[in-house]
């Protein structure tokens, strides 16, 4: 149990609320996230889950509450108290963000290789041969044929684009990845491949992740913990299998019972 | 494999455990499945939960594993450092920790993960959370050992278990739990779908585990199997008499 | 106009127009912008670009910079692609003759202000000279990141990964960096700047140049500067460093092997010859090689 007590959380969210004008879309959310943990935020449209993700990922100012991240060597720091430069640095190195639509998370007009190595170049790597070798390595890890390295993502299928997005984010070995509906809109077989890869990578790299999804199967497959959101509030939080197999809250019970089983 | 601990303190203790399902979608009907249940389980024991179906046997296992949430009472599980954690109060993180180090669970059904090969499903517990206790190759080797022991044809190792028979899936489930020994093992009908040959293998596996100090709580439908592995039986009675 | 005659005839000074066309307040505004630009080498300073008597795309930025710094004792040279007698160069020179009456020249060594489009003179410049560049697109990352709000952030935070993405792309597709002009440079170790569409051949000339280099973009309303003796490094990779162009032949007219050569087609059969782009440099070498 000692290991449980001493490891600090990687991220701590306290009393977070977000509003768009007079409308509060996220209310009083709190949770901790430890290294290597995957948390799924589940809810239907309008639940506030995407806003919550964006706020926690420093992309949208909260109206109340705090978001702390454990900076290497510096301990937990409030991310909204950091300078813009620090936040952007964080977003480029220690964090990843996988968008629902790959086009939002990629540069569609440059090659796959350039997309994957951009973060390394941003960090000052200047050896073309090595950059290219690392890009090839990562393309292989996400099961994209390395001979597509010079092709542009607009020639890729949806599933390939998502995998490219993942490679682009993971190349700097981030400790935390945010994902916004990463498998929505993809064919089922493609989803399976992607989810499997995400599972493998999160385990291999001891990656922590916060995944927003409306798909309970994705939550069950990828996340150890789950938060169910309704109208901006977290109605139930806990172990994924417990929340899905023994739902307590009426909304959770509704959600779980509504899922079609093939 | 050895479970290093010579600790003979109970691995699991359930005190006044109750479980009630509140079905909000059915006019908030309350369904009581368990009431004031008590149990103590020590290393080396294999305790059988017996009784007619619907008495809450599987529920007890799921409560112990944290898959279900208790309505009242406590569930104490001994952690690797000798301290007890009450599952009913534990944080998600604590439960995950216990599952990784102290508790194994073989359910009746294998929850199939698409696309992952059988051998990798079995190897997975050794590679959890980047712990890298062993390398991927070593994990696969050990998985191969267990798959062989449970007579899964090698041709199936690279295939995802979605299309396997019920018995084959159950053996994958068993291999996955036995590959990483933990001091507490929860078994839900481990031989239900197995033929006599494989049933015998599982019996041997359970006996070996007990000898190494594993505490086992199980549901066995087959009395002849139970006779060979069980050290004590707890009979589940209808609720009115609990 | 003869290449050997440094002083040419042109329009007389028109007394009805304010000196150098711009009103004094505008000149002051532009000078303040220039001062700020000089204080922050390579940084693009916005300025209130005025309506000029020629359309955007014809050097209005360079003209406004020149107009703000020129004085009656200055000697002005105007070149376009290295030549003093293209239409553009002639028109700009005549504009300044008419609005300032200053002495004009084709001789690089005699000029105090040189306004240029797309080339740096071959003859090395000296302290006290000012080189004014005409710039179409001041933002080096424009085609990769069209939002100015974003590029300003990138410059401010020194986030220049994107520039290297561009070079990476070139290497992947062509095996070498394909930009041959407007090749981006790092100024004073801080800001990445577009040197204007000069050939990359000229980039090294910017480095530690004793002259003051000013850049004006009229349509985009930006001024930037490289003060004398400032470091200017062309971007590249460790294993693919920046290289200038080389020709196999020498200039047909003066025999120079060091200057930037233009390719001139002689006839319809494709016969061509290579000639120095810098007309002043070439003619001087013909007289005294």
Task: Give me the pLDDT at residue C3, please.
Answer: 44
Chain A residue at shortest CA distance from B66 = A242
Query: What domains lie within chain B, and their CATH numbers?
Result: 12-235 (3.40.50.300)
Size of interface A-C (CB pairs under 8 A): 58
pLDDT at B129: 54
CA distance C214 to C65: 8
- Among A residues 166-205, those touching chain B with beta carbons less than 8 Å apart: 192-193, 195-196, 199, 203-205
State the pLDDT confidence band at C72, using cuts at 50, 70 and 90: very high
Active site residue C251: yes
Q: Class for domain A2-94+177-257, per CATH?
A: alpha beta
- Using CB atoms, which chains have 3+ pairs under 8 A with B? A
What band does A204 get if pLDDT is binned at 50, 70 and 90?
confident
User: Other CB atoms closer than 10 Å to residue C214's CB: what's the count?
Assistant: 26
* % of chain B at pLDDT higher than 90: 65
- Taking the C-alpha atoms of residue B112 and residue B116, their distance in angstroms, rounded to an integer, is 9
Q: Please, what is the end-to-end C-alpha distance for chain B in angstroms?
A: 39
Residue contact A205–B130, C-beta within 8 A:
yes
Q: What pLDDT, on a 0 to 100 scale, did the predictor assign at position A84?
A: 87
For chains A and B, having 3+ Cβ pairs within 8 Å is answered yes
- List the catalytic residue out of C42, C59, C61, C82: C42
- The per-residue pLDDT for range C110-169, each reduced to its tens digit, is 999 999 999 999 999 999 999 999 999 999 999 888 999 999 999 999 889 888 998 899
Looking at every residue in chain C, the average pLDDT score rounds to 92
Chains in contact with A, where contact means 3 or more Cβ–Cβ distances below 8 Å, are B, C
The rounded distance, in Å, linking the Cα atoms of A221 and A213 is 12
Q: How far from chain centre, in Å, is Cα B125?
A: 14
pLDDT on residue C43: 98
pLDDT at A7: 80
Q: What is the DSSP letter of C195?
A: -
Q: What is the mean pLDDT of residues C56-74?
A: 95
Span B19-57, pLDDT tens digits: 999 998 888 889 899 999 999 999 999 999 998 877 789
Q: Where does the pLDDT of residue B7 fall: very low under 50, low under 70, confident under 90, or very high at 90 and above?
A: confident
Rounded percentage of chain A residues whose pLDDT exceeds 90:
73
pLDDT tens digits, one per residue of B164-198: 998 999 999 999 999 988 999 999 999 988 999 99
User: A151-201 pLDDT, tens per residue?
Assistant: 999 999 999 999 999 999 999 999 999 999 998 888 888 888 888 888 888
Give the pLDDT confidence score for residue A16 in this predicted structure.
Answer: 96
On whether the CB atoms of residues A236 and A229 are closer than 8 A, the answer is no
Who contacts C174 (Cβ-Cβ below 8 Å, separation ≥6)? none
User: Residue A114 and residue C144: Cβ atoms within 8 Å?
Assistant: no
Distance of residue A234 Cα from the nearest chain B Cα, in angstroms: 16
| C254 flagged as catalytic | yes
Provide the angle, in degrees to the nearest 10, between the axes of the packed helices B166-178 and B136-149. Answer: 130
- The pLDDT assigned to A5 comes to 67
Q: For chain C, how are helix, strand and coil distributed in percent, rounded to 5?
A: 25, 20, 55
The pLDDT assigned to A261 comes to 63
Separation between Cα atoms, residue A10 and residue A175, nearest integer Å: 8
Whether the predicted pLDDT of A257 surpasses 60: yes
pLDDT at C2: 41
ipTM of the complex: 0.88
Q: Has residue B241 got a pLDDT over 50?
A: no
Mean confidence (pLDDT) of chain A:
91
pLDDT confidence of residue C48 = 95
**Alpha-carbon torsion, ordered A118, A122, A125, A128, to 10 deg:** 30
Whether pLDDT at C1 is above 50: no
- State whether residue B63 is helix, strand or coil: helix
- Measured at the CA of C141, the angle between CA A164 and CA A88, to 5 degrees, comes to 60
Mutation site for A-interface testing, chosen from B24, B59, B67 by largest number of A Cβ within 10 Å: B24
């Amino acid at each position: 149990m000692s290991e449980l007590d001493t490891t600090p959380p990687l991220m701590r969210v306290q009393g977070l609320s977000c509003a768009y004008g007079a409308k509060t879309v996220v209310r009083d959310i709190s949770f901790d996230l430890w290294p290597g943990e995957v948390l799924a935020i589940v809810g239907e449209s309008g639940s506030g889950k995407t806003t919550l993700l964006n706020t926690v990922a420093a992309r949208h100012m909260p109206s109340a509450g705090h978001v702390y991240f454990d900076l290497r060597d510096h301990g937990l720091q409030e991310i909204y108290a950091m300078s813009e430069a620090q936040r952007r640095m964080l977003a480029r190195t220690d964090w990843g963000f996988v968008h629902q639509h790959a086009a939002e998370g990629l540069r569609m007009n440059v090659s796959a290789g350039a997309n994957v190595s951009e973060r390394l170049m941003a960090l000052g790597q200047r050896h073309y041969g090595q950059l290219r070798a690392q890009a090839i390595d990562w393309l292989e890890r996400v099961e994209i044929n390395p001979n597509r390295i010079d092709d542009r993502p607009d020639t890729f299928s949806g599933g390939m684009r998502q995998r490219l997005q993942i490679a682009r984010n993971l190349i700097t070995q981030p400790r935390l990845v945010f994902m916004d509906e990463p498998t929505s809109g993809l064919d089922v077989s493609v989803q399976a491949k992607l989810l499997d890869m995400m599972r493998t990578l999160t385990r291999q790299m001891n990656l922590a992740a916060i995944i927003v999804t409306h798909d309970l199967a994705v939550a069950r497959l990828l996340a150890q913990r789950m938060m169910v959101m309704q109208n901006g509030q977290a109605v139930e939080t806990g172990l994924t299998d417990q929340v899905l197999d023994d739902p307590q809250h009426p909304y959770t019970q509704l959600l779980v019972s509504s899922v079609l089983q093939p | 494999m050895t479970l290093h601990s010579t600790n003979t303190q109970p691995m699991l203790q359930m005190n006044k455990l109750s479980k009630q399902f509140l079905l909000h979608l059915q006019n908030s009907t309350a369904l009581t499945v368990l009431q004031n249940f008590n149990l103590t389980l020590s290393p080396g024991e294999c305790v059988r939960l017996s009784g007619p179906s619907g008495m809450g046997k599987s529920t007890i296992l799921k409560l112990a594993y944290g898959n279900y949430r208790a309505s009242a009472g406590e569930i104490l599980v001994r952690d690797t450092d000798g301290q007890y954690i009450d599952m009913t109060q534990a944080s998600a993180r604590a439960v995950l920790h216990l599952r990784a180090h102290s508790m194994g669970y073989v359910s009746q059904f294998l929850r199939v993960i698409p696309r992952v090969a059988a051998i990798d499903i079995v190897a997975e517990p050794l590679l959890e959370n980047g712990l890298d206790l062993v390398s991927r190759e070593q994990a696969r080797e050990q998985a191969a050992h267990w798959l062989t022991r449970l007579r899964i044809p090698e041709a199936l190792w690279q295939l995802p278990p979605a299309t396997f028979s019920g018995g084959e899936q159950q053996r994958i489930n068993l291999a996955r739990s036995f590959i990483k020994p933990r001091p507490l093992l929860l078994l839900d009908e481990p031989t239900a779908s197995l033929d006599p040959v494989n049933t015998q293998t599982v019996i041997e596996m359970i006996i070996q585990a007990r000898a190494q100090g594993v505490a086992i709580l199980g549901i066995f439908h087959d009395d002849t199997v139970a006779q060979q592995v069980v050290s004590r039986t707890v009979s589940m009675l209808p609720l009115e008499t609990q | 106009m003869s290449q050997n005659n440094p002083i040419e005839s042109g329009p007389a000074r028109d007394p009805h127009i304010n000196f150098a066309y711009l009103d004094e307040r505008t000149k002051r505004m532009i000078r303040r912008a220039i001062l700020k630009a000089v204080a922050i080498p390579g940084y693009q300073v916005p300025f209130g670009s005025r309506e000029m008597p020629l359309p955007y795309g014809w050097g209005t930025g360079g003209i406004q910079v020149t107009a703000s710094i020129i004085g009656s004792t200055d000697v002005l040279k105007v070149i376009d692609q290295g030549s003093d007698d293209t239409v553009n160069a002639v028109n700009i020179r005549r504009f300044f003759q008419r609005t300032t009456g200053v002495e004009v020249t084709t001789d690089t060594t005699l000029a105090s202000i040189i306004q240029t489009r797309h080339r740096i003179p071959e003859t090395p410049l000296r302290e006290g000279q000012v080189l004014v560049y005409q710039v179409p697109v001041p933002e080096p990352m424009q085609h990769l990141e069209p939002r100015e709000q974003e590029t300003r952030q990138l410059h401010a935070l020194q986030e220049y990964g994107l520039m290297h993405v561009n070079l990476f792309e070139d290497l992947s597709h062509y095996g070498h960096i394909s930009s041959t002009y407007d090749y981006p440079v790092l100024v004073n170790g801080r800001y990445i700047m577009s040197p204007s569409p000069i050939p990359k051949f000229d980039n090294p000339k910017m480095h530690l140049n004793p002259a003051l280099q000013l850049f004006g973009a009229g349509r985009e309303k930006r001024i930037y500067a490289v003060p004398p003796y400032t470091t200017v490094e062309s971007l590249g990779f460790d294993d693919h460093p920046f290289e200038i162009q080389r020709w196999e032949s020498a200039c047909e007219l003066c025999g120079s092997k060091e200057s930037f050569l233009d390719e001139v087609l002689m006839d319809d059969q494709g016969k061509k010859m290579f000639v120095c782009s810098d007309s002043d440099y070439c003619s001087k070498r013909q007289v005294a090689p």
